[in-house]
Amino acid sequence: MRKGRGFIIFLLAAAGAWLIFELINNSGNAQALTMSEEDYAIGSKRFAAVSRKVTPALKASLKEKGLPWRNPIFIRAFKEEKELEVWVGKGGKFVLFRTYDIAGASGKPGPKEREGDDQVPEGFYYVKPDQMNPQSDFHLSFNIGYPNKFDAAHNRTGSFIMIHGSDVSSGCLAMTDSGIEEIYTLAAAAFEGGQRYFRVHIFPFRMSDEKIAAHADHQWHSFWKNLWDGYKRFEEKKVPPNVTVKDSRYHFE
């Protein structure tokens, strides 16, 4: 009985600490965007303020690289290196625009297998407009679409895996508030330009023949070789491959 009561007290204390953190964080973000906390609580107004703040600099940086505003985007993330890349489409291929540090990610090498395991997924995902969340508890966020068909074929569970702001995460990728402001704005602009969805590819590390060989005895070696096939397709053509699932494996076109 005492153990149960202690656990309840712990949960209440954790919830209270989280509430205080969220209130302080939201207040700080509202001030940074020169808006009231009441307006900040409304997702559409929050993102409108973010867009006004970051769009001019993003447009200027894109122009320097000869990349148009509102063109399609593609995202790759690498867990070991803690890096996330945003690529922008141009002339039928994709060009690396910017690499962001991942500020927070939990777990270890290997895919997410079940709800609550704190693992960041590995694999091939995509984001549609309805997966964007401007009213996130973590400033801004979007749902990567885990579990996908491959995950489902392997009976993997979990939900609400996001790329979001802040610098802490449990099973998601935390990009800092300033980082997610740019990434989210680029994604929203791509949707405005007509992109129906953008792909998010998450890898355990930057892949190579040497890296794969070095993990020959790892429990996820076969899975990583399957990811390596998709990784190579993009490296060769600079176009994200079409990904399907057959016989519980990824296939690429």
Whether the CB-CB separation of 184 and 50 falls below 8 Å is answered with yes
Whether the CB-CB separation of 161 and 115 falls below 8 Å is answered with no
Segment (H or E) for 143 = strand 139-143
Whether the CB-CB separation of 201 and 122 falls below 8 Å is answered with no
Active site residue 218: no
Residue 92, class by beta-carbon neighbours within 10 Å (0-12 exposed, 13-18 middle, 19+ buried)?
A: exposed
Q: Of 172, 201, 218, 251, which residue is the catalytic one? A: 172
The span from the CA of 234 to the CA of 139, in Å, is 31
Active site residue 251: no
Structural tokens at position 10: 């712990």
Q: Of 164, 201, 215, 221, which residue is the catalytic one? A: 164
Whether the CB-CB separation of 39 and 29 falls below 8 Å is answered with no
Q: What are the strands of the beta sheet with 198-203, ordered from one edge?
A: 93-101, 83-90, 73-78, 198-203, 123-127
Sorted by sequence, the CB contacts under 8 Å of residue 68 that are 6+ apart come out as: 62, 88, 90
Q: Which residue has the tokens 């998450």?
A: 202
> Would you name the residues annotated as active-site residues?
164, 172
